[in-house]
Amino acid sequence: MRGLAQNAQRIQDAEPGSSLIWRLSLAAAMTTGLLWWSLLSIPNAAAAPATLADYDCVTYGHCYAIVTWPGTVTGTETTMTVVALYCDQYHCNTQMNYHYHLSDEMWLVDTTHQAPNCLFGVCWIEVGQAAFPMTPNSNSDVYFWAENRPGMVYLEHPGNVTYYDFGYTTNLSITPSGSGAWSISASSHTYGNGLVGSTTSANNSMQPDTIRIGMELYDYCGYCSDPAYAPSSDFTYNQWSNNSPFFYQGADYPNKGQDYLQYPPPKGYWNVIPAPGTNGGDLVTYCGCD
């Protein structure tokens, strides 16, 4: 600080004829500064997008990159890559009055039979991983499962953190376990079980007619520099069951379901379309939510 002041004093003491030197010096400094700026900015290029993100996945409903397979089923399974989901620090924070989230998951849905007896007019069980503010001032990536079942009851059950499983896969499954009950599981490379405690949806009379897999985003980002983000997650070994053993999607004929993949910010694509010999195909989801 003292040196800067001394140098400033030297500038003031310089002869009037030194304006050319001043200009040349300024130009040199700016050039040097720009060089340093470009060098130092490289590491942050990915974290600070050139253009501010602008999306609304709140006002008109959540945003999705999912695939839907309609048809009477009783169970579903998939193998999903566990990745670092990033939900912006401000909105995904209970203490900020926002409760937004980003998730990769699988659903077993009843859109018809018991649907009128469920919140939203749709019943479902879901399981997967989410970046969600489960505790004040946190933005944890956790395994979770939830049930929206007849009787107008929605319950969400948080599981273990996913941090130590990033890059590994988790096997997700929802299978019937007796009359009106379903067993839910999410394997964990670190813990064995990603879910803990309750893993049964009891007193649940839903009659599933749809399977869904993919990404969901509930977030608002109005020209923000801190949007949600998720690297690619692969959904492989996609399977279905109807009171029988599990079968791969597309085992009999190519069947990529009903795509809902081109409605960003969440995005997705079929890396391998489910077809005979593909073991259920490979759906990729990701979120460069800008």
Stretch that binds another protein, among 55-63, 70-78, 247-255, 274-282 (CB under 8 A): 55-63
Q: Which residues in 200-259 contact another protein (CB under 8 A)?
A: 200, 202-204, 212, 216, 218, 225-226, 229, 231-232, 234
Q: Which residues in 108-167 contact another protein (CB under 8 A)?
A: 109, 119-122, 124, 131-136, 139-142, 146-148, 151-158, 160-161, 163-164, 166-167
CA distance 142 to 163: 8
Q: Which is nearer to another protein, 37 or 247 (CB)?
A: 37
Distances (CA, A) of 43 to 17, 50, 289: 42, 13, 19
Quick one: which of 1, 2, 16, 47 contacts another protein (CB under 8 A)? 47
Report CA Rg, the chain.
26
Q: Is 1 helix (H, G, I), strand (E, B) or coil?
A: coil
Cα 91 to chain centroid, rounded: 14
Q: Which is nearer to another protein, 137 or 276 (CB)?
A: 137
Please answer whether residues 193 and 187 qualify as being in contact, where contact means their C-beta atoms are separated by less than 8 angstroms.
yes
Q: Which is nearer to another protein, 8 or 242 (CB)?
A: 8
Stretch that binds another protein, among 58-66, 71-79, 243-251, 272-280 (CB under 8 A): 58-66
Q: Is 211 helix (H, G, I), strand (E, B) or coil?
A: strand
Quick one: which of 56, 196, 223, 276 contacts another protein (CB under 8 A)? 196
Q: Which is nearer to another protein, 152 or 276 (CB)?
A: 152
Q: Which is nearer to another protein, 214 or 280 (CB)?
A: 214
Stretch that binds another protein, among 25-33, 238-246, 247-255, 272-280 (CB under 8 A): 25-33
Shortest Å distance, C-beta 274 to another protein? 20
Q: Which is nearer to another protein, 193 or 251 (CB)?
A: 193
Tokens standing for residue 14 = 């310089």
Q: Which is nearer to another protein, 62 or 251 (CB)?
A: 62
Smallest CA-to-CA distance from 83 within 191, 190, 163, 188 is with: 163
Residue linked to tokens 């009359």: 179
Shortest Å distance, C-beta 71 to another protein? 16
CA distance 135 to 126: 20
Phi then psi dihedrals of residue 155, to 5 deg: -130, 140
Cα 237 to chain centroid, rounded: 20
Quick one: which of 2, 16, 44, 253 contacts another protein (CB under 8 A)? 44
Burial status of residue 236 (CB atoms within 10 A of its CB: 0-12, 13-18, 19 or more)? buried
Shortest Å distance, C-beta 253 to another protein? 25
Shortest Å distance, C-beta 258 to another protein? 10
Please answer whether residues 157 and 190 qualify as being in contact, where contact means their C-beta atoms are separated by less than 8 angstroms.
no
The upper half-sphere exposure of residue 146, i.e. CA atoms within 13 Å in the direction of its Cβ, equals 16
Check residue 22 for interaction with another protein (CB under 8 A): yes
Q: Which is nearer to another protein, 55 or 124 (CB)?
A: 124
Quick one: which of 25, 56, 72, 254 contacts another protein (CB under 8 A)? 25
Got the DSSP string for 96-115? GT---EEEEEEEEEESSSSG
